[in-house]
Amino acid sequence: MAPILKVAVIGAGISGLATARALKREAHQVVVYEKSDQLGGTWVYDPRVESDPLGLDPNREIVHSSLYRSLCTNLPRQLMGFVDYPFAIREYGDSRNFPGHEEVLEFLNEFARDFGLVELIRFKTEVVLVEQVDLRNDQWIVGSRANKVSSSEVFDAVVVCVGHYTQPRLADLPGIENWPGKQMHSHNYRVPEPFQDQIVVVIGDGPSALDIPLEISKVAKEVHLSSKSPDIKLSKLDCGDNMWQHSKIDHVDGNGEVTFQDGASIRADFILHCTGFNYCFPLLKTEGIVAVDDNRVGPLYKHIFPPQLAPNLSFVGVPYRSAPLTMMIDLQAKWMAHVLSGKAPLPSKEEILADVQKYYRYMDDKGIPKHHTHSLWFEFEYPDWLASQVGLAGADEQTRLIKKSYFKFIADKSFWRNGEWQLGYGLEEDELR
Ligand SMILES: Cc1cc2nc3c(=O)[nH]c(=O)nc-3n(C[C@H](O)[C@H](O)[C@H](O)COP(=O)(O)OP(=O)(O)OC[C@H]3O[C@@H](n4cnc5c(N)ncnc54)[C@H](O)[C@@H]3O)c2cc1C
Ligand SMILES: *[C@@H]1O[C@H](CO)[C@@H](O)[C@H](O)[C@H]1NC(C)=O
C-alpha cells in the first residue's frame, strides 16, 4: 500500500480545491492554507483597490482578486466545470451562458462542501515560507502567519496553488516617467466611475482589454484601444460613438500626449493597463532551483514538477489560455496526486529535465517568446495528455464542439452586436449547441 503523506496545499482557489480533493481521494493527509477568510481565490470579489494603482510599490497592501464588479465568465458555463462535476445551470441562479462571478463563487463553495474540503482549510493563514528542512532530509517546512502569530509545520510534500492574476505586468512606454496623467492597471479596476468624462487609453490584447473599455465607454468622453498586434490599423469602432482602435503606443509626452505607431496622437487623461500579470512566489525558498524568469516558471516538468524537487514540491494552476481551464487544473491535480501516491511514477530526474529543455528548445526554434512558456494556446493536447496519465479519456466530443463554436464566434467578432457589447460576448444559448 502506498504511504500516506502529509501534504500542504497553499491556496484555496480552483487549483487548491481541485488539489485538495485529488489528494484526499488518494487518502493523503491534507492541510490547505488560505490567507483570505474564504475560499474561491480570484472569484471572491473584493471592492478594495490597492494604494498604488499600478502595483509598483513593494510595501502596498496586496488585494488578491482582480475581478471587476460586472464581470461575467469569458468561457461558457459548459467549459467552467471540474472533470466530473459540471457547472450546471443552477435552479436559483441565472441561466445565462456566461454567468456572473457570484455564481462561480457559489459553485466553488458547493464543490468544497460536497467533497468535505472546507474542514481541511486553515483560513486567514498566510504562508510566508516554503523550504526544504535540509538537504539530507526530504521533508518541507511551511512557515505561516495567522493573526500575527507565526508558526511552522513539517510536511512530506507541498503543492503551490497561489494563483497568478495578482501582480500587474506593465508595458514599456517610452516617456512614461514624465507623462502627467493618471494610470491604473486592470488589477485595480472595479467600476467605471473613475473614468467619468475622461479621455482614456486602454493598452492590451487580452479579455479584460475588450471587456473593460466597453464598460468605460458608457461614462468616458473617449476610449482609445491600443493593441500590439501587428495588423491593427487606426479605425473607429462601431460599438459606440466614442471608441477607436489604435496600434501600439510609440511614446508619451510631458504635455499629456500619447502617440501611437500609426501616427495618430491624442491628449489623454488616463492610461489603463490591461497588460496581464506576472508570476510571483515570494514564499518559496528553493535556492534558485525554481525561478521566475520573464514569466517562465522553471524548470517545471509538464508545468507542474521542478525536476530536482519532484515529486514532493509541485505547482498546480500555472498554465493559462486553456479552455476549459478548470478541467485542465483538475486534471493537473489528479495527475500530481497519482504521482505522489506512486500510481503514476515519474521518469528519472535526468529524463524529466531533458523533457523541459526539449520544450524550451522547441519554443526557441519556433520563435515563441519566453513569457509564453505556460500558454496552452487553447489546445487540447496538454489536458488530453494529463487525462491519459490518470486513465481518463480526453475532452469529450461535446466539449470540443462547444470550444470550437465559441472560438469561431469570437473570431467572427459577431459579439459586437447592434453597436452594443453583449455581456458574455453576446452568445445565445442555441449558438453553443
Ligand atoms: C479578471 C479575471 C477573469 C477571469 N475569468 C475567467 C473565466 O471566465 N473563466 C475561467 O475559467 N477563468 C477565468 N479567470 C482565471 C481564474 O484565475 C481561474 O478561473 C482561477 O481562479 C484560478 O484559480 P487558482 O486557484 O489557480 O488561483 P486563485 O483563484 O488566484 O487562488 C489562489 C488562492 O491562493 C491564496 N493564496 C495566495 N498566496 C497565498 C499564501 N502565501 N498563503 C495562503 N494563501 C495564499 C489566495 O488568497 C487565493 O485564495 C479569470 C481571471 C481573472 C483575473
Ligand atoms: C518525498 O517525500 C517522501 C515522504 O517524506 C520521501 O520518502 C521521499 O524520499 C521524498 N522524495 C524526494 C525525491 O525528496
Proportion of the chain above pLDDT 70, given as a percent: 91
Is the CATH number 3.40.50.300 carried by domain 170-273? Answer: no
pLDDT category at 42 given cuts 50, 70, 90 is very high
Of residues 138 and 267, more confidence is placed in 267
Q: Do domains 6-167+277-389 and 170-273 have the same CATH topology?
A: yes
pLDDT category at 408 given cuts 50, 70, 90 is low
Does ligand 1 have an atom closer than 6 angstroms to the CB of 208? yes
Inform me whether the pLDDT recorded for 91 exceeds 90.
no
CA angle 234, 236, 240 (to 5 degrees): 150
Inform me whether the pLDDT recorded for 424 exceeds 90.
no
pLDDT category at 428 given cuts 50, 70, 90 is very low
Q: What is the arithmetic mean of pLDDT over 386-415?
A: 78
Burial class (CB in 10 A: 0-12, 13-18, 19+), 257: middle
Does ligand 2 have an atom closer than 6 angstroms to the CB of 349? no
Closest ligand 2 atom to 156 CA: 5
Inform me whether the pLDDT recorded for 405 exceeds 80.
no
Q: Whose CA is nearest to atom 1 of ligand 2?
A: 312
Does ligand 2 have an atom closer than 6 angstroms to the CB of 247? no
In angstroms, what is the span from residue 282 Cα to ligand 2's centroid? Answer: 24
Q: Are 268 and 199 in contact (CB under 8 A)?
A: yes
Q: Whose CA is nearest to atom 21 of ligand 1?
A: 42
Inform me whether the pLDDT recorded for 225 exceeds 60.
yes
Does ligand 2 have an atom closer than 6 angstroms to the CB of 312? yes
Inform me whether the pLDDT recorded for 341 exceeds 50.
yes
Using most ligand atoms within 8 A of CB, pick from 165, 210, 272, 284 the residue to mutate for ligand 1: 165
Q: Are 257 and 179 in contact (CB under 8 A)?
A: no
Does ligand 1 have an atom closer than 6 angstroms to the CB of 78? no
Residue 377's contacts (CB-CB under 8 Å, 6 or more residues apart) are: 321
Q: What is the number of the ligand closest to the CA of 320?
A: 1
Q: Are 274 and 209 in contact (CB under 8 A)?
A: yes
Inform me whether the pLDDT recorded for 189 exceeds 50.
yes
Write down the pLDDT at residue 425. 40
* CA dist., res. 82 & res. 327, Å (int): 5
Proportion of the chain above pLDDT 90, given as a percent: 73
Q: Are 96 and 76 in contact (CB under 8 A)?
A: no
Residue 308's contacts (CB-CB under 8 Å, 6 or more residues apart) are: 289, 349, 353
* CA dist., res. 341 & res. 338, Å (int): 5
Q: What is the number of the ligand closest to the CA of 138?
A: 2
Would you list the domain boundaries of the chain? 6-167+277-389, 170-273
Question: How many residues appear in the chain?
Answer: 433
Q: What is the number of the ligand closest to the CA of 87?
A: 1
Location of C-alpha cell 458574455:
424
Does ligand 1 have an atom closer than 6 angstroms to the CB of 322? no
The class of domain 6-167+277-389 in CATH terms is: alpha beta
Q: What is the number of the ligand closest to the CA of 125?
A: 1
